[in-house]
């Protein structure tokens, strides 16, 4: 046996360790997807043992390569890799695959399993997250690297399957990645020709290589996904591009799903179901694997362990970092703050100064304009704040004087994502996951439907991502029902761990931004008006109350009813309160810019703002269904149909969103009580 043959046999055994761990875990759980892990085991073996720079003893090492399993249903491949290379994921956790409270859930979850970079499952989003991570690496490298000091220098690797590439988000994110020239993004396409319904030829006949070449990707086609030498050569080719011409790389790997299974390999039968004990036994015999379930040969275990190698790589980088830090101490302090996610005092003070002194912020302006005023003040003081818009910068007002467009300069703090709402939201998740950035991005509220699942993933992953949604109601006017959001506020509010802010004026907008920036464990959605809104005068103590999500804006002794409103409808509630006062009826006006935050407050505060024994009327230019649980037996005034095309003022009257309707509702409640 020559050396090449010996190496091939050894590498096959290393890959088989992945295959059998995946097959055994799925079999024990009687649930899961063994096909992708078995089919991609050879690719994973080459990447993780020969190329991936990481330290299992320190999963958070900043300059590690990022690895994303976008086809997250194949999670046992990732768990097997983490276990074998030495992460804190013992065999007992592998045995508990898909069981309650295990660290090996059905799809990878960031923050739960050490070494998992992002939560994947909804196909295509992991790929878009990887684009965000590669963008983060490129931007940080251009900002902090200096000649002779390459302290930001890592790759982002991502595995994708046919399902990821069928999803539209793959087009959005990969088109953008090619335009931006993200040369350190390397994607492995598991071209096995199978999805759940069977052979994909009937529903996925794209020329994938030509498609990605058209995106300006470096495409390496026709790689045998079970040939370690071919895989290794492809990775070297991807990494050897001249820096000035670097493009993201797609390595098209032809594989057999369930590779190694004697009768089921290559069919959809192995995609999402256990192999069965007889098939696994036959596979053990066919592949000369004389070990019991979950048993691994010691030589393979030793070869896979990457702790020593990872520690050496990190130590070498740390020595380089120390030299860079000594030479560029200000840069080092700024980078450390960014990676920690800390908000500089200067940015918070700039917000306080705005609240105290800005006449513009307290003027009769749209809340989208108030948001821009806030961004003008804080952006210069907050390196790491990374803005953008889905081709609506001039409408969302997300662009400010200190915005430097990456699109034009190759670096900066702002990106026009093009008309790619879903891609934008998922790329922002990747930026946040990588570290060093607080991303915000803008579009119209009605288009939040496009990006909603990525917002949900940000909430699930507890990532600080800020969505700026303007044109938040029928108040946008003549564009009509296609652009007028109705159900969108409610739809976003019911996402767990998401916070929806709908401010009524400049002061509430500034507080909304303040709270969104301070929050480190989830996203925020800022709902902002196109039309100008009347500002309100408040005591300074009310600023803290705004930060509670809901507070008493105007009170009255012995109030007989409570009017609850958000955003542009707060002004309607205030006018209704004045009309009722003239009729001798005292009412309280409550502004509730963030309903979720208000209901997270102590019961005592909630009862103080909304006394249980006083009837309630809510008013919001959106679905009334959400508010019925808030007003209890009161009246929820809203819109439960689609809008119309007309000037905003006419629409509010047409849909009964006016002081007269509010007064009528209060009269009805008081009549019931009497």
By the 8 A CB rule, do 562 and 610 touch?
Answer: yes
By the 8 A CB rule, do 432 and 519 touch?
Answer: no
Identify which of 467, 410, 413 has the alpha carbon closest to the alpha carbon of residue 437.
Answer: 413
CA separation for the pair 156, 152 (Å, rounded): 12
Whole-number Cα distances in Å, 429 to 116, 334, 540: 14, 22, 35
pLDDT in tens, 445-502: 999 999 999 999 999 999 999 999 999 999 999 999 999 999 999 999 999 999 999 9
Q: Is 294 annotated as a binding residue?
A: no
Mean pLDDT for 594-606 is 98
pLDDT in tens, 150-170: 999 999 999 999 999 999 999
**Can you give the pLDDT at residue 245?**
85
pLDDT at 435 over 80: yes
Q: Is 433 annotated as a binding residue?
A: no
Residue identified by tokens 């407050």 is 601
DSSP H helices, 207-276, are 208-214, 228-239
CA separation for the pair 65, 70 (Å, rounded): 16
DSSP conformation class of 149 = B
Task: For the chain, give the percent of residues with pLDDT over 70.
Answer: 99
523: phi then psi, degrees, rounded to nearest 5: -85, 165
Label residue 614 exposed, middle or buried (CB < 10 Å: 0-12, 13-18, 19+).
middle
Side-by-side strand order, sheet with 551-554: 551-554, 587-591, 561-565, 616-619, 635-637
Q: Is 224 annotated as a binding residue?
A: no
Mean pLDDT for 270-292 is 97
pLDDT at 5 over 80: no
Q: Which two tokens stand for residue 402?
A: 């200190």
Mean pLDDT of the chain: 97
Q: Which CATH architecture has domain 540-673?
A: 3-Layer(aba) Sandwich (3.40)
* Annotated catalytic residue, options 93, 109, 421, 620: 421
pLDDT in tens, 141-154: 999 999 999 999 99
Mean pLDDT for 260-278 is 96
Check for a shared fold between 341-528 and 540-673: yes
CATH fold of the domain at 341-528: Rossmann fold (3.40.50)
By the 8 A CB rule, do 444 and 483 touch?
Answer: yes
Residue identified by tokens 């931007």 is 139
Strand stretches in 517-596, DSSP E:
524-528, 551-554, 561-565, 587-591
Percent helix, percent strand, percent coil in the chain, to nearest 5: 50, 15, 40
Q: Is 305 annotated as a binding residue?
A: no
By the 8 A CB rule, do 154 and 138 touch?
Answer: no
Identify which of 173, 180, 155, 128 has the alpha carbon closest to the alpha carbon of residue 430.
Answer: 128
Q: Between 659-673 and 569-582, two packed helices, what is the crossing angle to 10 degrees?
A: 60
Task: For the chain, give the percent of residues with pLDDT over 90.
Answer: 96
pLDDT at 1 over 70: no
Number of H helices, E strands in the chain: 28, 18
pLDDT in tens, 352-384: 999 999 999 999 999 999 999 999 999 999 999
CA separation for the pair 472, 201 (Å, rounded): 43
Q: Is 471 annotated as a binding residue?
A: yes
By the 8 A CB rule, do 460 and 406 touch?
Answer: no
Q: Is 121 annotated as a binding residue?
A: yes
Which band of pLDDT confidence, cut at 50, 70 and 90, is reported for residue 125? very high
DSSP conformation class of 563 = E
Label residue 618 exposed, middle or buried (CB < 10 Å: 0-12, 13-18, 19+).
buried
Region of 537 please: left (phi>0), alpha (psi -120 to 50) or beta: beta
Domain ranges of the chain: 3-311, 341-528, 540-673
Whole-number Cα distances in Å, 112 to 24, 95, 102, 259, 301: 22, 16, 9, 29, 24
Q: Which residues of 358-390 are buried (b: 16+ CB within 10 A; e: fewer)?
A: beebbbebbbbbbbbbbbbbbbbbbbbbbbbbb
Q: Could you give the 3-state DSSP secondary structure of residue 181?
A: coil
Whole-number Cα distances in Å, 302 to 102, 232, 298, 306, 667: 25, 21, 6, 9, 78
Q: Which two tokens stand for residue 420?
A: 């790619």
Write 290-293 long-range contacts (CB < 8 A, 24+): 291/20, 293/20, 293/24, 293/27, 293/28
Identify which of 145, 75, 178 has the alpha carbon closest to the alpha carbon of residue 117.
Answer: 75
- Give yes or no: 421 in active site: yes
CA separation for the pair 283, 289 (Å, rounded): 8
pLDDT in tens, 526-578: 999 999 999 999 988 898 999 999 999 999 999 999 999 999 999 999 999 99
Q: Is 395 annotated as a binding residue?
A: yes
**Can you give the pLDDT at residue 3?**
59
Which band of pLDDT confidence, cut at 50, 70 and 90, is reported for residue 673? confident
CA separation for the pair 163, 161 (Å, rounded): 5
**Can you give the pLDDT at residue 6?**
66
CA separation for the pair 42, 296 (Å, rounded): 17
Give the residues across from 200 on adjacent strands: none
Mean pLDDT for 178-195 is 97
CA separation for the pair 147, 410 (Å, rounded): 18
**Can you give the pLDDT at residue 315?**
98
3-311 to CATH, choices 1.10.10.60, 3.60.10.10, 3.40.50.2300, 3.40.50.970: 3.40.50.970
Q: Is 368 annotated as a binding residue?
A: yes
The overall pTM is greater than 0.95:
yes
By the 8 A CB rule, do 220 and 237 touch?
Answer: yes
pLDDT in tens, 321-360: 999 999 999 999 999 999 999 999 999 999 999 999 999 9
Q: Is 615 annotated as a binding residue?
A: no
Identify which of 194, 201, 120 has the alpha carbon closest to the alpha carbon of residue 161.
Answer: 194
Residue identified by tokens 């509630």 is 573
């Amino acid at each position: 046996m020559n050396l090449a043959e010996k190496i091939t046999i050894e590498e096959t055994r290393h890959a088989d360790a992945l295959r059998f761990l995946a097959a055994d875990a799925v079999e024990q759980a009687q649930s899961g997807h063994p096909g992708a892990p078995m089919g991609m085991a050879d690719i994973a073996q080459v990447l993780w043992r020969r190329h991936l720079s990481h330290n299992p003893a320190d999963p958070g090492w900043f300059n590690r390569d990022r690895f994303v399993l976008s086809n997250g249903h194949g999670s046992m491949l990732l768990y097997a890799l983490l276990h074998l290379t030495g992460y804190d994921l013992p065999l007992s956790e592998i045995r508990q695959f898909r069981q309650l409270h295990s660290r090996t859930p059905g799809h990878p979850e960031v923050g739960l399993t050490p070494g998992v970079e992002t939560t994947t499952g909804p196909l295509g989003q992991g790929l878009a997250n990887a684009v965000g991570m590669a963008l983060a690496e490129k931007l940080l490298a251009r900002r902090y690297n200096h000649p002779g000091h390459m302290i930001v220098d890592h790759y982002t690797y991502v595995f994708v399957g046919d399902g990821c590439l069928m999803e539209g988000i793959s087009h959005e994110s990969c088109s953008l990645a090619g335009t931006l020239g993200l040369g350190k993004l390397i994607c492995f396409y598991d071209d096995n020709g199978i999805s759940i319904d069977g052979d994909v030829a009937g529903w996925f006949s794209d020329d994938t290589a030509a498609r990605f070449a058209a995106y300006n990707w470096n495409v390496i086609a026709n790689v045998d996904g079970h040939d370690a030498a071919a895989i290794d050569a492809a990775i070297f080719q991807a990494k050897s591009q001249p820096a000035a011409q670097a493009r993201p790389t797609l390595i098209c790997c032809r594989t057999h799903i369930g590779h190694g299974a004697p009768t089921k390999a290559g069919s959809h039968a192995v995609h999402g179901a256990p192999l069965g004990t007889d098939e696994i036994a036959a596979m053990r015999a066919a592949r000369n694997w004389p070990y019991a379930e979950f048993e691994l040969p010691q030589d393979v275990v030793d070869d896979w362990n990457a702790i020593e190698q990872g520690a050496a790589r990190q130590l070498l980088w740390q020595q380089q970092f120390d030299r860079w830090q000594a030479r560029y101490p200000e840069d080092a302090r700024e980078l450390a703050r960014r990676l920690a996610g800390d908000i500089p005092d200067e940015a918070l003070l700039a917000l306080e100064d705005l609240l105290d002194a800005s006449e513009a912020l307290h003027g009769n302006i749209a809340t989208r304009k108030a948001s821009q005023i806030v961004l003008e003040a804080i952006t210069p003081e907050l390196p790491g704040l990374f803005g953008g818009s889905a081709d609506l910068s001039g409408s969302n007002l997300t662009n400010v004087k200190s915005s430097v467009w990456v699109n034009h300069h190759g670096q900066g703090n702002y990106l026009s994502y093009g008309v790619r709402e879903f891609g934008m939201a998922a790329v922002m998740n990747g930026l946040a996951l990588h570290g060093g950035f607080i991303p915000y991005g803008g579009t119209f509220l009605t288009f939040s439907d496009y990006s909603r699942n990525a917002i949900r993933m940000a909430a699930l992953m507890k990532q600080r991502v800020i969505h700026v949604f303007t044109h938040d109601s029928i108040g946008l006017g003549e564009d009509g029902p296609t652009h007028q959001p109705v159900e969108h506020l409610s739809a976003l509010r019911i996402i767990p761990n998401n916070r929806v802010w709908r401010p009524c004026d400049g002061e509430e907008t500034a507080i909304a931004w303040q709270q969104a920036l301070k929050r480190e464990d989830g996203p925020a959605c800022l709902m902002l008006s196109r039309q100008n809104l009347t500002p309100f005068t408040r005591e300074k103590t009310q600023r803290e109350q705004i930060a509670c999500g809901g507070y008493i804006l105007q009170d009255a002794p012995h109030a007989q009813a409570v009017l609850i409103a958000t955003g542009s409808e707060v002004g309607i509630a205030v006018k209704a309160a004045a009309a009722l006062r003239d009729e001798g009826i005292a009412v309280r006006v409550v502004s509730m810019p963030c309903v979720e935050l208000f209901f997270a407050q102590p019961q005592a505060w909630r009862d103080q703002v909304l006394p249980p024994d006083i009837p309630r009327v809510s008013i919001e230019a959106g679905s009334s269904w959400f508010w019925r649980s808030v007003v209890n037996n009161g009246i929820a005034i809203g819109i439960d149909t689609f809008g119309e095309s007309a000037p905003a003022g006419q629409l509010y009257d047409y849909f009964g969103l006016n002081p007269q309707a509010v007064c009528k509702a209060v009269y009805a409640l008081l009549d019931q009580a009497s």
